[in-house]
Structure 1
Amino acid sequence: MTNAEPLAAPAPTETREAVVEVKNVTAGYVTGVNILNSCSLTAYAGELIGIIGPNGAGKSTLLKSIFGQVKVRDGDILLRGKNITNLKANKLVAQGVGFVPQNNNVFPTLTIRENLEMGIFLKPRGLVERLEFVTEIFPELSKRMSQRAGSLSGGERQMVAMSRALMMGPHVLLLDEPSAGLSPVRQDEAFLRVKEINKAGVTTIMVEQNARRCLQICDRGYVLDQGRDAYTGTGRELLNDPKVIGLYLGTLGQD
C-alpha cells in the first residue's frame, strides 16, 4: 500500500487489459474551482474497484468525470486505450460505459420492463438476451416486470437501476453509493449484487461511504482525499493499514 503514489498492479492484472485509466485528471463543476486534482485510477478487466474517502473528497466527481458529466480540465481518461475525455454520456454508453447515479436513478412512472427497455434503446435487437442476463442476477425482477418503478422500495429501485445500466452489456459499470439510504439488511444485499455483477464479467468501479464493507469485497481500493488518490492498495491492505484506519475508517476498520 502506498501513499500518494500509484500502486503496482498485483501479478494477475499484469497481463490483463486496462479497461479504464484515469491519468492525472483535474476537474470541477465551477470555473476556477477544482474538485479533482491530478487524480489517477486504473481498473483492469474483471476487477472490482472501490473508491472511499471523507465527504467532499471528490469520489462522486471522479465517476461523473469518467461519465462525461463533469468537465475535465487537465489529464486524460481512457477506455480500453481510447481517449474518452469529456465525451458525452450517450456516446459513452454506446462505447460500453454504464453509470448508476445515487439519486433519481429510475423512471418512476414507467414499469420495470419499460425501465429496462430504456437501457437498451441503442441496441433494441438484444432485448431478450439482455433481459435473461439481468434477471439471472436479479431474479426478483422477472416476476414484477409490469410493476411501476415508483412503487418500489429503495433497494428494489437500486436493482432496477443497476439492471438498466447492464442492458447494453457495458465493459465497465460505474456505481455511485449503491448502499446509500438502505437498511443494513438491504445494504448487505446491495453489496452481494455488486459482487455478482462483477463475477458475471463486468469490470466495476464503485464509490461507497460504507468504507469497511466496500473494502471487504473489492479487489483493489482507492482512498481519495482533497481530490487526490491519497492511498491505494488491495482491499485487505487498506482495511489493515494503520494510517487508513486512523484517518478514514476509525474503529470500523478494526472489526
Structure 2
Amino acid sequence: MTVENAQRNGIPSPSDDVVVELTDVHAGYLPGVNILNGANLVARKGELIGIIGPNGAGKSTLLKSIFGMVQVRSGKITVNGESIVGLKADKLVSRGVAFVPQTNNVFPSLTIAENLQMGLYQNPKIFAERLEFVTGIFAELGGRLKQRAGSLSGGERQMVAMSRALMMDPSVLLLDEPSAGLSPVRQDDAFIRVSDINRAGVTTIMVEQNARRCLQICDRGYVLDQGKDAYEGPGRELLNDPKVIGLYLGTLGTDD
C-alpha cells in the first residue's frame, strides 16, 4: 500500500510526515476553566482531518489553541516538530499556520485583490505566484479582483477568506465551520473547495457541524466530547460506526 493510500485509509505509515500534533492539551479562555481537557490530534502531510462533536465539545477551541488564540495551560502543540505554544499570530503565520475563522473573515471595504494582498504582508513579493495558485482553485475570483469583498455573498466571502489564508503557502490550513450560514448548494460547494485545497497538497484541519458531510470527505476524523477526543479513525469508518451514529450523528449534520 502506498503512503497516499495508507493516509486515505487512516493507516499511519512510518514515512508519514507529522505536520501538526497535539498531545494531552488542556486549554481555556477563563482562569481555572478548561474547555479542552486532554485533547490529542495528529495531522500528517497531505491529510484532510475533520473534527466533529456536539455543541460545546471544544471543536473551535482546539483550532484556536493551535493558532494561539486560547491559553494552553498544559500539553504540547507542535508544527513540523517545533513547539508553537505561546506564539503570536504573526509568528504562527511565518511557521506555516493559516487560520480561517467562521465569521468576520474578510475585509469588506477592500477589494478581493487587496484582501489577498493582506494575506501576504510578510512576503508581498510572491503575490503573482500565489495568486496563480489560489485562482487555480477558486477560478471565479480571477476575473473579479477589483470587486469589493463587502458586495460578495457568504459563499463568495468564504472563498476569499480561504484564498487569503493560502497566500503564504501554509503547511497547515485551519478551517472553522466553512459551511456555516451557507445555503445547501453553497455548503456543497464549500466542501468541494476544501477537498480541492487538500488535493492541491495543503494539510487541512476542519471543524464542522455538518458531521456527515465532513466525515464523507476527510481522511481521518476526530469526535470531540467534553474537551477530549472520544473517537478517532478514518472518516468513512466513523460515518458507519454504530456508537458514533448513536451518540453524535443522530443530532449532528443532515442526510444527503
TM over 0.5: yes
- The secondary structure found in structure 2 opposite 1:233 is strand
What is the RMSD computed on CA atoms of the aligned residues? 1.4
CA shift, 1:10, in A, is 3.9
CA shift, 1:15, in A, is 1.2
- What does residue 99 of structure 1 align with? 99
1:165-200 alpha-carbon deviations (Å, 9 max, x no partner): 000000000000000000000000000000000000
Structure-2 change in CA distance of 1:226 and 1:12 (3 Å): closer
Q: Conserved in 1, the CA contact under 8 Å of 2:27 and 2:72?
A: yes
1:185-235 alpha-carbon deviations (Å, 9 max, x no partner): 000000000000000000000000000000000000000000010000000
Is 1:230 aligned with 2:230? yes
Is 1:72 aligned with 2:105? no
1:124-158 alpha-carbon deviations (Å, 9 max, x no partner): 11000000000000000011000000110000000
> Once the two structures are aligned, what percentage of the paired residues are identical?
73
Q: Which runs of 5+ in 2 are unaligned?
A: 1-8
Structure-2 change in CA distance of 1:112 and 1:13 (3 Å): farther
- The secondary structure found in structure 2 opposite 1:65 is helix
- The secondary structure found in structure 1 opposite 2:165 is helix
Q: How does 1:170-249 map to 2 (within 5 A)?
A: 170-249=170-249
- What does residue 84 of structure 2 align with? 84
- What does residue 5 of structure 1 align with? none
For residues 55 and 205 of structure 1, the distance between their equivalents in structure 2, rounded to whole angstroms, comes to 18
TM-score by length of 1: 0.94
For residues 123 and 88 of structure 1, the distance between their equivalents in structure 2, rounded to whole angstroms, comes to 17
Letter in 1 for 2:121: F
CA shift, 1:243, in A, is 0.5
For residues 199 and 254 of structure 1, the distance between their equivalents in structure 2, rounded to whole angstroms, comes to 25
CA shift, 1:11, in A, is 3.8
Is 1:149 aligned with 2:158? no
- What does residue 6 of structure 1 align with? none
For residues 253 and 193 of structure 1, the distance between their equivalents in structure 2, rounded to whole angstroms, comes to 19
1:42-90 alpha-carbon deviations (Å, 9 max, x no partner): 0000000000000000000000000000000000100010011121111
Q: Conserved in 2, the CA contact under 8 Å of 1:245 and 1:254?
A: no
For residues 160 and 191 of structure 2, the distance between their equivalents in structure 1, rounded to whole angstroms, comes to 15
1:73-121 alpha-carbon deviations (Å, 9 max, x no partner): 0001000100111211110001100100000000000000000000011
- The secondary structure found in structure 1 opposite 2:163 is helix
CA shift, 1:254, in A, is 7.8
Structure-2 change in CA distance of 1:254 and 1:152 (3 Å): closer
Q: How does 1:50-65 map to 2 (within 5 A)?
A: 50-65=50-65
Q: Which runs of 5+ in 1 are unaligned?
A: 1-8
For residues 242 and 97 of structure 1, the distance between their equivalents in structure 2, rounded to whole angstroms, comes to 35
Is 1:42 aligned with 2:26? no
CA shift, 1:250, in A, is 1.2
For residues 242 and 20 of structure 1, the distance between their equivalents in structure 2, rounded to whole angstroms, comes to 29
Q: Conserved in 1, the CA contact under 8 Å of 2:10 and 2:220?
A: no
Q: Conserved in 2, the CA contact under 8 Å of 1:102 and 1:176?
A: yes
For residues 116 and 38 of structure 1, the distance between their equivalents in structure 2, rounded to whole angstroms, comes to 36
- What does residue 111 of structure 1 align with? 111
Q: Conserved in 1, the CA contact under 8 Å of 2:48 and 2:198?
A: yes
For residues 41 and 50 of structure 1, the distance between their equivalents in structure 2, rounded to whole angstroms, comes to 11
Is 1:129 aligned with 2:129? yes
- The secondary structure found in structure 2 opposite 1:248 is helix
